[in-house]
Amino acid sequence: MCGRFSLSSNLNELKNEFSDDLSGNFPARYNIAPGQDSVVVSLYDKKFNLQILNWGFNSLNTSKLLINARSETVHQKVTFSKLLRFQRCLIPANSWFEWKSSKKPYLIKSRNSNLIAFAGLKRLSNNGDPQFIIITSESNQHLKSLHSRTPLVIDKKNYYKWTGTSYEEALTLLKPINGNNFDFHPVSPALGKVNNDNSSLVEKYDYKENSDLPLFNHFN
């Protein structure tokens, strides 16, 4: 799954990655959690544009947010199938986080690029609020040791294919990422507090050196 991620890259970095057409203001974020806003990139009139959307779909049946969709079944689910045809988007990120145990978070980062993009879907809620979710796929290679799921990372060469008009071409991208293209390291358990948001959260953390510090539950 993907339950936290970071985006500290600025607008110029996003322009270099996607398009000079992008514009907008957004802060550096090191601990983006469900229910919070983040940057989303979509294709409109053959040009990429930037939006700020809220992470998670509200459900009529539960108060819990839907934050992920499985790549294997996203085309079959009523909630997602129409969005998959017409509302595909990219979620820029520098890294994402998983908890190897209940109190030890790890940062996962591309070996090849500082900036990556998750496959996502967007919609307007019943209240008119713009929202997005992240599509996930099955883990493979060494990422399996962290979690059984990973975000579906779209290669830069496929940005237009994912966001473009061809539904059939987009479906070909719904497959697991190559786990060997990513590294991971432990980070501070302070990541578990959603109000904590600073650059120290993405730095490598030594649990032995900090064994006397209190640990935080990541569901807080």
CA dihedral 139, 141, 143, 146 (to 10 degrees): 90
pTM (predicted TM-score): 0.92
CATH code assigned to 4-202:
3.90.1680.10
Q: Which residue in this structure is represented by tokens 């539904």?
A: 167
The full set of domain ranges for the chain reads: 4-202
pLDDT of amino acid 102: 72
Query: Any idea what the Cα angle at residue 102 is, between residues 180 and 110, rounded to 5°?
Result: 20
How many other CB atoms are found less than 10 A from the CB of residue 73?
Answer: 11
CA distance 6 to 151: 13
Question: And the tokens for 176?
Answer: 């697991």
Contacts of 142 (CB under 8 A, 6+ apart): 179, 180
Q: What is the mean pLDDT of residues 49-54?
A: 97
CA distance 99 to 101: 5
- Residue 132's alpha-carbon distances to 67, 124, 184, 195, 202, in angstroms, are 8, 9, 25, 21, 23
Percent of the chain at pLDDT > 70 equals: 94
Spatial CA neighbour of 219 closest among 131, 62, 67, 103: 103
Q: What is the mean pLDDT of residues 149-176?
A: 97
Residue 193 predicted with pLDDT over 90: yes
Predicted confidence (pLDDT) per residue in 65-118, tens digit: 999 999 999 999 999 999 999 999 999 999 999 998 778 999 999 999 999 999
Contact in structure between 156 and 119 (CB atoms under 8 Å) = no
Predicted confidence (pLDDT) per residue in 1-22, tens digit: 689 999 999 999 999 999 999 9
**How many residues comprise the chain?**
220
220 class by beta-carbon count within 10 Å (0-12 exposed, 13-18 middle, 19+ buried): exposed
Q: What is the DSSP letter of 173?
A: T
| Amino acid occupying residue 75 | H
